[in-house]
Structure 1
Amino acid sequence: MKALLHYGAIGTNGLRLEEVEDKHPGPGEVKVRIKAAGLNHRDLFVLARRTGSEPPFIPGSDGAGLVEAVGSGADHVRIGDEVIINPTLGWHAASEVPEVPDILGSPTDGTFAQSTIVPAVNVEPKPAYLTWEEAGVLPLAALTAYRALFTRGQVQQGEHVLLPGIGSGVATYALAMAKAAGAEVTVTSRDAGKRRKALELGADAAIDSHGDWDEALEGRKVDLIMESIGPATFPQYFKVLRPGGRIVSLGATSGDTVEIPLRPFLFPQFSFLGTSMGSTEEFKKMLQFVDKHRIRPVVDATFPLAEAVRAFQRMEEGRQFGKIGLIPEEEG
């Protein structure tokens, strides 16, 4: 089968589409013929961290497809089942938080191939209303958004949610999920086109990241901020968060370190919560939620697997709005 391999070179320079051995699932595993896969910023981070001494591997955490082989003991799965892959490995209950979640696509081989082998407990029925492209880009970012909003953020109907940096997969899912939960949603972006698209998708307000957020909100405070940027936007948060409000941190695209002035943090009794990925329990709940509300992923663009470097470059340059998909070619 054909697969996208990453060799030792740092970044996308190490990517090669090659013919690799077609493996068979072991006990408790299933083999999934990938119909569509999705890129995440995590894929860029994984490639950037490689030093050159590691063996080649297949990246990719998102994917959906058809079960084409079943190992012993995987009795709940049948050949031909249409499935979506849960990328979190070995984290079953939401309350049993691992120190660092194990995720498909590093160090294990991932989904950027014509087929992949995963634990049978990591496949769930594909929501029937989703196309393959939509299902393939759903898992990681939608799971991250669901846990951040509901498990950690405890968003409630009627609350005001702020999503800095609209345009990422997580942020677009969070916008759809928060609106489905009955929340008011404000987004920020330095890109006028992305602000306009967010309003078209149901955002109640969209403000310029480079402006004064408190002034743009006309003094209206927010209950929950889903933070994925870090130091570039963090100083704005305390100005717009209501007393008792929550910040849920799920990323750090502008850097790992922020300064928190303690008195402005303590007196309003803000909560600062961390989150990463999600459990099998939450993955099932997320699928139920998107199915109930007929939430569709925002697909920015799709590329054939052979043009994966172009897809990575689009994400690296921050030009996407929503998710970028990869489509493996069918074997003839």
Structure 2
Amino acid sequence: MLAVSAIRTDAGDPLGCLDVGERAEPTAVDGWTTVSVRASALNRHDLWTLRGVGPPFQRIPIILGSDAAGVDEDGNSVIVHSVIGDRANRRGEEDSDPHWSVLGERHDGTFAERVAVPRRNLVPKPAGMSFEDAACLPGAWLTAYRMLFDRAALEPGGTVLVQGAGGGVSTALIVLGSAAGYRVWVTSRSAGRRKQAEALGAEAAFPPGARLPVRVDAVMETVGEATWEHSLRSVRDGGRIVVSGATTGALPPAGLTHVFFRQLTIAGCTLGTRDQLARLSRFCARNRLAPVIDRVLPLSRAREGFRAMSDGSVFGKVVFAS
């Protein structure tokens, strides 16, 4: 079968570590099954794997990809939940298992014509949702869903600041937050991306570091070092900053006087549970929400998608059609 793999890692030449070629068909062990992948979505996690930035248990070589939608062995249209955990230890959440991983780390991932996954990781795909849209949900959209509706503890009508506009999580935050009735503000260095964010439903868009009209109830932080100080200054007393990434650096000045004196809450967020993925898919279907897709490429042209993400020219998600 055709698959996209990391055959080695190199921080200086990540795309040189990418291989698109034939791989052996997956086999399903007890409790697992196989899914014929119709669409899969690229995440920055896949690019980081090629750069050698990954967990200590990262397996190389490995088939990349964690997000997918397809058809299971019984002919059902499904969405693949990417978090692999020990059911006996998870306490209702897969990532409470200290040994949890996502597809493409310990186990071969979704950038292939077929993938093996635990049966419990399959979520029904809503009938009216395309495979391409569904493939975007398990990673960026699930992370955004959990940030907004779990970690942020927002009341109806609250004001949210999304740091950065254009990435998969950021665009999902804008669409989901607007649909939920939040007042969504965003920041971006690009005037064009600020306009695109407003077209998605953001009430206002500002340059990085801009003084806001009022302090917000919560900040959604995926950028890290470049925006952290602004996030601390922009949230109201007693508000929350929800962090799910740090693409510009993970060691900014902490600003602890802001945290304790103004009684701020810093909440971390990574992906979400299978049940949250099921709720997210129903929420999107009921409200006719669609992920922002920058481009759809055949799996054979996956290198183009990786290059676009590496160059920073993507707005929304890159999807591979199998």
- Assess, with a 3 A threshold, how the Cα gap between structure 1 residues 55 and 204 changes in structure 2: closer, same or farther: closer
C-alpha distance in 2 between matches for 1:148 and 1:177: 11
Please say if 1:161 is aligned against 2:160.
yes
Residue 308 of structure 2 contacts residue 314 of structure 2 at CA under 8 Å; is this kept in 1?
yes
Please say if 1:82 is aligned against 2:70.
no
Deviation at 1:54, TM superposition (A): 5.7
Write out aligned runs for 1:175-194 (5 A): 175-194=174-193
Deviation at 1:302, TM superposition (A): 1.3
Please say if 1:240 is aligned against 2:234.
yes
- Assess, with a 3 A threshold, how the Cα gap between structure 1 residues 95 and 271 changes in structure 2: closer, same or farther: farther
Deviation at 1:94, TM superposition (A): 4.1
C-alpha distance in 1 between matches for 2:297 and 2:171: 20
| SS of corresponding position for 1:213 | coil
Aligned to 1:34: 37
C-alpha distance in 2 between matches for 1:48 and 1:315: 13
Deviation at 1:23, TM superposition (A): 3.2
Which of 207, 212, 221 is the matching residue for 1:227? Answer: 221
Aligned to 1:73: none
Instruction: State TM-score, norm by structure 2.
Output: 0.91
C-alpha distance in 1 between matches for 2:276 and 2:59: 32
C-alpha distance in 2 between matches for 1:270 and 1:88: 30
Where does the alignment leave 5 or more consecutive residues of structure 1 unmatched? 70-78
Report the count of equivalent residues.
Answer: 312
Which of 237, 255, 272 is the matching residue for 2:249? Answer: 255
C-alpha distance in 2 between matches for 1:163 and 1:35: 31
Q: Which moved more, 1:138-147 or 1:90-99?
A: 90-99
- Cα RMSD (Å): 1.9
Please say if 1:213 is aligned against 2:213.
no
The runs of at least 4 consecutive aligned structure 1 residues that moved more than 6 Å come to none
Write out aligned runs for 1:109-124 (5 A): 109-124=108-123
Aligned to 2:101: 102
Write out aligned runs for 1:262-301 (5 A): 262-301=256-295
- Assess, with a 3 A threshold, how the Cα gap between structure 1 residues 273 and 14 changes in structure 2: closer, same or farther: same
C-alpha distance in 2 between matches for 1:110 and 1:133: 17
Aligned to 2:61: 56
| SS of corresponding position for 1:174 | helix
Instruction: State TM-score, norm by structure 1.
Output: 0.89
Which of 292, 298, 305 is the matching residue for 1:304? Answer: 298
How far does the alpha carbon of each residue in 1:73-114 deviate from its partner, in whole angstroms, 9 at most, with x for none? xxxxxx111111111112572497344741111121000011
| SS of corresponding position for 1:306 | helix
- Assess, with a 3 A threshold, how the Cα gap between structure 1 residues 25 and 261 changes in structure 2: closer, same or farther: closer
Residue 94 of structure 1 contacts residue 282 of structure 1 at CA under 8 Å; is this kept in 2?
no
Identity level (%): 36
Residue 7 of structure 2 contacts residue 17 of structure 2 at CA under 8 Å; is this kept in 1?
yes
- State the one-letter code of the partner of 1:85: V
How far does the alpha carbon of each residue in 1:256-276 deviate from its partner, in whole angstroms, 9 at most, with x for none? 102123323222111111111
Aligned to 2:6: 6
Q: Which moved more, 1:129-138 or 1:35-44?
A: 129-138
How far does the alpha carbon of each residue in 1:9-42 deviate from its partner, in whole angstroms, 9 at most, with x for none? 4222122222222233232212111111000011
How far does the alpha carbon of each residue in 1:28-64 deviate from its partner, in whole angstroms, 9 at most, with x for none? 212111111000011111111179x964210000111
C-alpha distance in 2 between matches for 1:23 and 1:258: 42
C-alpha distance in 1 between matches for 2:173 and 2:227: 18
| SS of corresponding position for 2:62 | coil
- State the one-letter code of the partner of 2:149: F
Residue 156 of structure 1 contacts residue 182 of structure 1 at CA under 8 Å; is this kept in 2?
no
C-alpha distance in 2 between matches for 1:165 and 1:225: 11
C-alpha distance in 2 between matches for 1:243 and 1:265: 9
Write out aligned runs for 1:124-203 (5 A): 124-203=123-202
Aligned to 2:25: 22
Residue 5 of structure 1 contacts residue 58 of structure 1 at CA under 8 Å; is this kept in 2?
yes
Where does the alignment leave 5 or more consecutive residues of structure 2 unmatched? none
C-alpha distance in 2 between matches for 1:296 and 1:240: 29
